[in-house]
Amino acid sequence: MRGKTVVITGGTSGIGEVAAVRLAEKGARIVFVARDKTRAETTLAKLALANPGVVHSFHIADLFSLAEMKRVAAEIAAAEPAIDVLINNAGGLFEKRQVTVDGLERTFALNHMAYFVITNGLLKTLKPGARIVSTASDAHLAARLDFDDLQFEHGFKGFRVYGTSKLCNILFTRELARRLEGTGITAVCLHPGFVATRFATNNNGWLGMAFAVLKKLAAISPEKGARTIVHLASVPGIDCNGGTYWYKCKPIAPSRAARNAADAKRLWEISEQIANG
């Protein structure tokens, strides 16, 4: 990874921060997107220790907002004309339904549209041989897309909505890989495992309490959860595996719904319409 530039969202905590530091230790220069400047500066200090030979940097953005997604993608594209790896990792789970300034349900906005908008905003800066790595989840396994209610105006349940957003991540990766055929750029996604991070701690109700208990009983460390991200970003030989879904550094089969090419194409087209206003 020496001499390579890695862009990552969700890089100030959990598996995103661990992955950023480990890739820096391998020689990469890290550019990350953060929402909070104080947390960003803390992560930047860790990256400087991991690889002091290069100048790492961050960009501040609110990834709930389409305008902010577009702005930060344009800023990074202007500053980084040759990106080797893009890691889409920012995400969240929310117990109650709320909408963003754009009228989007916020899980859909952050977990799916931020991946879509930032990736498309940076495509022209990705070098031949570059990789796009997106964090999905096995939470998608029971999910189904309802194209008549993508914003979950009816029957909102936090974990169900989260699982659907992770299904969107896999379908997005599938369609992205199809569109990138012949470019030399590889798009893959992954399940990191159930990881003990800050994830879901923003919820004060039963969902937050349930996750707190489950993390103590069954969660793996952020270090272990980040391994597949680091693998997909750095290990040679995955270039022919575009559109695949990985766990524990190996490709695995996602759900049947996640392999639906027609849904992947339709989701892309709808996402494009949303992004373009």
10-49 pLDDT tens trace:
999 999 999 999 999 999 999 999 999 999 999 999 999 9
Evaluate whether residue 245 is within a structural domain. Answer: yes
Mean pLDDT throughout 182-186?
95
Evaluate whether residue 171 is within a structural domain. Answer: yes
Dihedral sign for Cα atoms in the order 71, 75, 80, 86: negative
Number of domains observed in the structure of the chain: 1
Task: Please confirm, yes or no, whether 162 is among the known catalytic residues.
Answer: yes
Environment class of 129 (CB within 10 Å of its CB; exposed 0-12, middle 13-18, buried 19+): exposed
Evaluate whether residue 200 is within a structural domain. Answer: no
Choose the catalytic residue: 115, 162, 245, 247.
Answer: 162
Evaluate whether residue 108 is within a structural domain. Answer: yes
Evaluate whether residue 27 is within a structural domain. Answer: yes
Evaluate whether residue 214 is within a structural domain. Answer: no
**Range(s) of the domain holding residue 72:** 5-192+225-275
Kindly report the pTM of this predicted structure: 0.92
Evaluate whether residue 208 is within a structural domain. Answer: no
Distance between CA atoms of residues 118 and 121, nearest Å? 5
DSSP-assigned letter for residue 221 = P
38-56 pLDDT tens trace:
999 999 999 999 999 999 9
CATH number at residue 70: 3.40.50.720
Dihedral sign for Cα atoms in the order 35, 119, 225, 139: positive
pLDDT in the model for residue 233 = 98
Evaluate whether residue 67 is within a structural domain. Answer: yes
pLDDT in the model for residue 199 = 52
